[in-house]
Structure 1
Amino acid sequence: MTGQQPGHGGASRIFQPLEGDDPTTVAGYRLAARLGAGGMGKVYLSYTPGGRPVAIKVIRPEFGDDPEFRRRFAQEVQSAQRVQGLFTAPVIDADTDGRRPWLATAYVPGPSLADAVVAHGALPVETVLLLVAGMAEALHVIHGAGIVHRDLKPSNVLLAADGPRVIDFGIAYAADATSLTGSGVTIGTPSFMAPEQAAGGGRVTPATDIFALGQVAAYAATGSPAFGEGTSHGVLYRIVHEEPDLERVPERLRKLVTRALAKDPAARPSVAEIIELCRSANAETVLRRAEDWLPRTVAADITVRTAAPAPASDRTPPPPGYAPTAPSAPPTPAAPPPAGYAPTAPVAPGPNPAQSLAYAPTHAAPPAHRFPGRPLPPGAMPHGGMPPGAMPPVPPRRRGPVVALAAALVFGITAGATAYLLLKDKEPQTKGSASSQGGTSSQGGQGGQDGGSTDAGAKPSAEPQPKPAEFKGVNLTAGYHLTLGDDAVRPQRGEDGGYELSYDTGGYLDAESSGGNLVLLDPGQPGSLAACRADTRFTQNVYVNKLSKGRQVCVTTGTGHIGLVTVQGFSAEDSPSTYMTLDLTVWRNAAESSD
Structure 2
Amino acid sequence: MTAQPFDAPAPATFAPLSSDDPREIGGYRLRARLGAGGMGRVYLAHTPAGRPVALKVVRPELAEDPDFRYRFIQEVASARRIHGLYTAQVVDAGTDAATPWLATAFVPGPSLHQVVHRHGPLPERTVLLLLAGIAEALQAIHTAGVVHRDLKPANVLIAPDGPRVIDFGIARAADASPLTGTGLRIGSPGFMAPEQALGLPVTSATDVFALGALIAYTGSGTTPFGSGPEPVPLYRVVHEEPDLSRLPYGLHDLVRYCLAKNPEDRPDTAWLIEAARHHPTTGGDLHFSDGWLPQQVGGELHHHTDLPTTPVPPNTVLDPDRATADAPTAHVLPAPAPTRLGTVPAAGRRTARTPHRGARTALLTAAALIAGAAAAFLVLDNSDYLDDSGDQTAAITDTSAPSATTPSSHSTQAPVAGYTAAYTDRELTSPDSDYEFDLRAGKVTQDTTAWYLGREAGAFYVPEDSDAYIPPAGPLALPDCLKGIDTQPTTTLPFTTLRADRSFCVRAHGGEDIAIIRTLTAASNDGPVKVAITYYHRSA
- Coarse TM-score class (shorter-chain normalised): 0.5 to 0.7
Give the aligned partner of residue 516 of structure 1: none
Q: In the aligned structure 1, how far is the partner of 2:221 from the partner of 2:34?
A: 24
Give the aligned partner of residue 113 of structure 1: 112
Q: Structure 2 counterpart of 1:6, which letter?
A: P
Q: Which has the higher contact order (CA 8 A, sep 6+)?
A: 2
Identify if the C-alpha distance between structure 1 residues 108 and 33 changes in structure 2 by more than 3 Å, giving closer, same or farther. Answer: same
Give the aligned partner of residue 9 of structure 2: 6
State whether residues 332 and 399 of structure 2, in contact with CA within 8 Å, keep that contact through their aligned partners in structure 1: no
Give the aligned partner of residue 82 of structure 2: 83
State whether residues 63 and 99 of structure 2, in contact with CA within 8 Å, keep that contact through their aligned partners in structure 1: yes
- The alpha-carbon deviation at position 336 of structure 1 amounts to 6.7
Task: Say if 2:397 is the partner of 1:368.
Answer: no
Q: In the aligned structure 2, how far is the partner of 1:271 from the partner of 1:145?
A: 14
2:278 is paired with a residue whose SS is: helix
Give the aligned partner of residue 309 of structure 1: 308
Q: In the aligned structure 1, how far is the partner of 2:392 from the partner of 2:300?
A: 27
State whether residues 128 and 282 of structure 2, in contact with CA within 8 Å, keep that contact through their aligned partners in structure 1: no
Give the aligned partner of residue 427 of structure 1: none
2:164 is paired with a residue whose SS is: strand
Aligned residue among 272, 275, 279 for 1:277: 275
Q: In the aligned structure 1, how far is the partner of 2:50 from the partner of 2:133?
A: 27
Q: In the aligned structure 1, how far is the partner of 2:33 from the partner of 2:525?
A: 32
Give the aligned partner of residue 204 of structure 1: 202
State whether residues 56 and 105 of structure 1, in contact with CA within 8 Å, keep that contact through their aligned partners in structure 2: yes
Q: Structure 2 counterpart of 1:45, which letter?
A: L
Give 5+ residue unaligned stretches, structure 1.
Answer: 329-333, 341-349, 351-365, 381-470, 473-525, 527-565, 570-595
State whether residues 9 and 35 of structure 2, in contact with CA within 8 Å, keep that contact through their aligned partners in structure 1: yes
Aligned residue among 233, 236, 242 for 1:235: 233
State whether residues 83 and 90 of structure 1, in contact with CA within 8 Å, keep that contact through their aligned partners in structure 2: yes
Q: In the aligned structure 1, how far is the partner of 2:139 from the partner of 2:334?
A: 37
- The alpha-carbon deviation at position 316 of structure 1 amounts to 3.6
Q: In the aligned structure 2, how far is the partner of 1:338 from the partner of 1:231?
A: 62
1:103 is paired with a residue whose SS is: strand
Give the aligned partner of residue 97 of structure 2: 98
Q: Structure 2 counterpart of 1:118, which letter?
A: H
Give the aligned partner of residue 48 of structure 2: 49
2:57 is paired with a residue whose SS is: strand
Give the aligned partner of residue 501 of structure 2: none
Give the aligned partner of residue 25 of structure 2: 26
Give 5+ residue unaligned stretches, structure 2.
Answer: 336-351, 353-386, 401-456, 459-495, 497-523, 528-540
Give the aligned partner of residue 134 of structure 1: 133
Post-superposition Cα deviations, 1:391-412, rounded to whole Å, max 9, x if no partner, equal xxxxxxxxxxxxxxxxxxxxxx
Q: Structure 2 counterpart of 1:20, which letter?
A: S
State whether residues 324 and 377 of structure 1, in contact with CA within 8 Å, keep that contact through their aligned partners in structure 2: no
Q: Structure 1 counterpart of 2:273, which letter?
A: I
State whether residues 10 and 109 of structure 2, in contact with CA within 8 Å, keep that contact through their aligned partners in structure 1: no
- The alpha-carbon deviation at position 249 of structure 1 amounts to 1.1
State whether residues 89 and 391 of structure 2, in contact with CA within 8 Å, keep that contact through their aligned partners in structure 1: no
Q: In the aligned structure 1, how far is the partner of 2:125 from the partner of 2:63?
A: 43
Task: Say if 2:245 is the partner of 1:247.
Answer: yes
Task: Say if 2:15 is the partner of 1:16.
Answer: yes
Post-superposition Cα deviations, 1:264-317, rounded to whole Å, max 9, x if no partner, equal 111111111101111122342341221221122222332221111225245243
Post-superposition Cα deviations, 1:465-506, rounded to whole Å, max 9, x if no partner, equal xxxxxx99xxxxxxxxxxxxxxxxxxxxxxxxxxxxxxxxxx
Give the aligned partner of residue 68 of structure 2: 69
Give the aligned partner of residue 219 of structure 1: 217
Identify if the C-alpha distance between structure 1 residues 181 and 123 changes in structure 2 by more than 3 Å, giving closer, same or farther. Answer: farther
- The alpha-carbon deviation at position 73 of structure 1 amounts to 1.6
Q: In the aligned structure 1, how far is the partner of 2:165 from the partner of 2:290?
A: 19
Identical aligned residues as a percent: 50
State whether residues 324 and 378 of structure 1, in contact with CA within 8 Å, keep that contact through their aligned partners in structure 2: no
Post-superposition Cα deviations, 1:133-189, rounded to whole Å, max 9, x if no partner, equal 000000110111111111111100001110000101364449xx9977997464311
Post-superposition Cα deviations, 1:235-277, rounded to whole Å, max 9, x if no partner, equal 1111111100011111221111111111111111111110111
- The alpha-carbon deviation at position 323 of structure 1 amounts to 5.0
RMSD, matched Cα? 3.5
Q: In the aligned structure 2, how far is the partner of 1:163 from the partner of 1:106?
A: 15
Greater gyration radius: 1
Q: In the aligned structure 2, how far is the partner of 1:182 from the partner of 1:62?
A: 9
State whether residues 91 and 106 of structure 1, in contact with CA within 8 Å, keep that contact through their aligned partners in structure 2: yes
Q: Structure 1 counterpart of 2:276, which letter?
A: C
Q: In the aligned structure 1, how far is the partner of 2:267 from the partner of 2:298?
A: 31
State whether residues 76 and 93 of structure 2, in contact with CA within 8 Å, keep that contact through their aligned partners in structure 1: yes
Identify if the C-alpha distance between structure 1 residues 19 and 338 changes in structure 2 by more than 3 Å, giving closer, same or farther. Answer: farther
Identify if the C-alpha distance between structure 1 residues 17 and 186 changes in structure 2 by more than 3 Å, giving closer, same or farther. Answer: closer
State whether residues 4 and 107 of structure 1, in contact with CA within 8 Å, keep that contact through their aligned partners in structure 2: no
Post-superposition Cα deviations, 1:427-476, rounded to whole Å, max 9, x if no partner, equal xxxxxxxxxxxxxxxxxxxxxxxxxxxxxxxxxxxxxxxxxxxx99xxxx
Q: Structure 2 counterpart of 1:369, which letter?
A: G
Q: In the aligned structure 1, how far is the partner of 2:18 from the partner of 2:172?
A: 33
